[in-house]
Amino acid sequence: MTKPVVAIVYHSGYGHTKVQAEAVLAGIREVSGVEGLLVQAEKVDEHWEQLDEAAAIIFGSPVYMGNVAAAFQTFAEKSSKRWFESKWRDKLAAGFVNSGSQNGDKVQALNALFTLSQQHGMIWVGLGLMPGNNNSAGSVNDLNRLGSFSGAFAQSNVDQGADIVPPEADQRTAAHLGKRVAEAALRWTRGA
């Protein structure tokens, strides 16, 4: 039996969201019996068939001007060919976003990823974590330090390179999302 594939489609202009995407992939790879696939949005034309066969697709983008990056939206619009044929209906979906500011309108970008998944008739998997760093004993090193529920958030200081940020806590949060979706994909495809 072939392993269910959990794909990640992401854009990263300057490498920060790529670090987050790779952390999601590491989380997927923690789950045996599932295959991870990392796809740059710009190279999606090489991967449509793999995406059509995937059990889950996790979408990721930096926040540019309060929304997903244009390169990610180009992928989203190209995916309309899949939409016409309902090819992604009932696949699992999830999302992650990364911005320079602590808030930076990340929710707006994550909502764009959610809406894309719902246009395709996909099943959205949220983060499934309690918020970190929201009490007097909390710290910026907490898992889910940015307190998201619907997807994984990361914040990358704008004067630091992708070798330094997003911080380890945000990478752990991203890995948690990958692992959660991979575990859900195993359950979702059981008996299929």
**Residue closer to ligand FMN (CB basis): 49 or 159:** 159
Closest separation in Å from C-beta 125 to ligand FMN: 22
Select from 22-30, 56-64, 134-142, 145-153 the region that touches ligand FMN (CB under 6 A).
56-64
- Is 115 near ligand FMN (CB under 6 A)? no
What is the footprint of ligand FMN within residues 127-156 (CB under 6 A)?
156
**Residue closer to ligand FMN (CB basis): 27 or 167:** 167
Closest separation in Å from C-beta 173 to ligand FMN: 15
DSSP per-residue letters across the chain:
-PPPEEEEEE--SSSHHHHHHHHHHHHHHTSTT-EEEEEEGGGGGGTHHHHHH-SEEEEEEEEETTEE-HHHHHHHHHTHHHHHTTTTTT-EEEEEEEESSSSTTHHHHHHHHHHHHHHTT-EE-----PPSS-STT--TTSTTTT--SSSEEEE--TTS-TTT-S-HHHHHHHHHHHHHHHHHHHHHHTT-
Q: Mask 57-96, x = binds ligand FMN (CB under 6 A)?
A: -----xxxxx------------------------------
**Residue closer to ligand FMN (CB basis): 12 or 171:** 12
Q: Report the interface residues with ligand FMN, using CB under 6 A.
A: 12-17, 62-66, 98-101, 104-105, 156, 158
